[in-house]
Structure 1
Amino acid sequence: MTAPTVDQAITRAHHEEWSRLVARLARRFGGLDVAEEATAEAFAAAAERWPREGIPPNPGGWLATTASRKAIDWLRREAQRDARHEAARIVHDDTPPEPTGPVEDDRLRLVFICCHPALAMEARVALTLRLLGGLTVAEIARAFLVRETAMARRITRAKAKIQTARIPYRLPSAGDVRDRLAGVLAVVYLVFNEGYLASEGRQAVRGNLIDEAIRLGRLLRSLLPDDGEVAGLLALMLLIDARRAARVSHTGELVTLEEQDRGAWDRALIAEGSALVRERVRAVAAGGDPPGRYQLQAAINAVHTRAPSARDTEWSAIVALYDRLVQLDPSPIVRLNRAVAVAEVDGPDVALAEIDRLTEALDGYHALHAARADLLRRLGRSGESRSAYDRAVDLAGNPAERAYLRRRRDQLAGP
């Protein structure tokens, strides 16, 4: 097996170690700024020293030691008060750590801290992507369609609010877990989505974000085994991730669900996700709480994965599930997804009428124009379809998706 290059080793370490280091340093030194700064400096040191000194036998251990030293140096540089100098001496403190509360995993605890109710949802997601995903401010800004300077200010304000609120890293308490759970679930799912189809950049898929989101989902399931939405989110992520290997072609083009090689799907993940869906169906039938949005989305994906081919998909069942989801979440995106399913039951003309009613709300969303383009193509309206594909290509950030949309556009008949 060929030894990795320095660049490959640093990239792999960044994927595997960034979130672990930030979470560990945040707990140890009690601050998000010092944790992020020290971790970034450790990777900068690796980029400078590993080409000269060689890749260390234990890259993660090397980075952890270096990051700890950088954190102490950072605190000493920044500290002007005795309390900060005392924090810098934590490295010499051999006393047992304080209890961490019900959430023992450092990275999951960091998500709960990032999901403080004082923060707006976009700030929670941005902060989580920065601290746990290791995304640059520029990448996060592109994902939110805002300027880099605006996103930098948003992340800085979010960290400042957490600092001002004096939230100790040993939180959350049991009450915090319940109060913040909805926000945590939303953030974990958005992190997963950013991994599964990156909104910008050269990578079509960010496997490290997918894996981290599923890892956090498993931890949440262990923490709250009876919560239906926790189980639903984990099932949803597993069922979607089962299709990862078939999602992008060898030429780097997105492969839609209809065109995917279902033999390449991960049957173990499908079995695990489907079992969770069946568990929730039994719980609801036994008088439990009605299914929430993640459980319904998981059920929709379970219908997709059990179909031997796209042609054999039970589209009427999917539309029925979307009808229930719209009652819980009547957002334009949910209604758009429902309209795509309606096209398979009632025809493209009915679906197009529904989608056209969403145009004002979703004009800047590439998926709306991609869906319109496909329906117009099926209706033989090639000129309008081409224009819709052009608009979708302009708005899409993912390179694999742009390649797919261009190919579909270029297959249209006519000039």
Structure 2
Amino acid sequence: MNVLDQARAVGDAVLYEGYLLYPYRASARKNRVRWQWGVLVPPSYASAEIGEHASARVECVLEPLERTILRVKLRFLGARTRPGTEWDEGVEHEVDFELPLSELPAEEPFRVHELAGVLTARVDPLDGPFGGARLRVEVHNTTSWPSDGVREHALRHALLAAHLVLSVDTGHFLSMLDPPEWAKPAVETCKQERLWPVLIGDTSRSTVVLASPIILYDDPAIAPESPGDLFDGTEIDEILTLRTMTLTDEEKREARATDPRAAAIVDRVDAMPPELLERLHGAVRSVRPVEPSVVVAGVRVAEGSRVRLRPNLRGTDAQDMFLVGKTATVRVVLSDVDGVTYLAVTLDEDPAADLQHEHGRYRYFSPDEIEPLEVAE
């Protein structure tokens, strides 16, 4: 998958995040209050007091070359009432802009059916010997609509889940989360309003940035285990799939009648083979194996070491209080994305410890939460 395809895949998740929540029926209370982020309403309805806005802005730092061309893809949903129902379905829209940096600032109007807007862009060279520039892109909904004060009506004249894909043909964008030292002052002065820029395809520099209404880390990607969109929260695929399986035939009929995407979810779950469901059971990517051992209180602790648990009771898992003093066996020494070391263990008293190990199901503790009992062979 190239970086633009990756940006589109993540952008699709942004478009439909919360679009239609389980149980995927129009009658469900949670599906009667929708369109919560990336919403750019018409100016007549916009009000900071009620948290509704007609514009969004993103700023980022890039290192352009002499003839760099900026390409901007604006993506959003437009709401329309599905014929014969009271259900508002989303219709995807895209608007493309090609802007040579040498011709900025620029103001580009656009119209999609009854929706109107303006995209503006400017680039300012950074002070100092390192070069670089600050790019600002704004999107404004300029649709003329005599507001009646009803949000549901305003949403039919709004850009929903609006986001941008920015790309350059030469040069590159810098990470806003972990910029090089010389760029940090410029990054700190960048102002984001309802859009947040992250790199696609890398975590330090890239030719593509996704400006998302949902804050993400650099280089976000769709989990390869996910068989398709579920439109719900953080895509907790297994539990949502299992819950969908419990719908009655009548509930499934209502879900299929609500929206074509809901029908696709129900059909996909009904036809899901057991091996695909098993694949959804979990994958750990935030930690990775590191050195084969870690020294705790002067003792080398590695795979196979027996330890006594002394969990920090101010930690995040309140149930750790029941593990104080219990013995465990270290299965893996791991490190997270910040370089912090953890020990993956199974409880010695757990009759399913070997099965847990086989499936990679562990309890995780930091080195200061364990007491070495014996060294691994």
Q: Is the structural similarity TM-score above 0.5?
A: no
Q: TM-score by structure 1 length?
A: 0.23
Q: TM-score by structure 2 length?
A: 0.24
Q: Which has the higher strand share?
A: 2
Higher relative contact order (CA 8 A, sep 6+): 2
Q: Which has the higher helix share?
A: 1
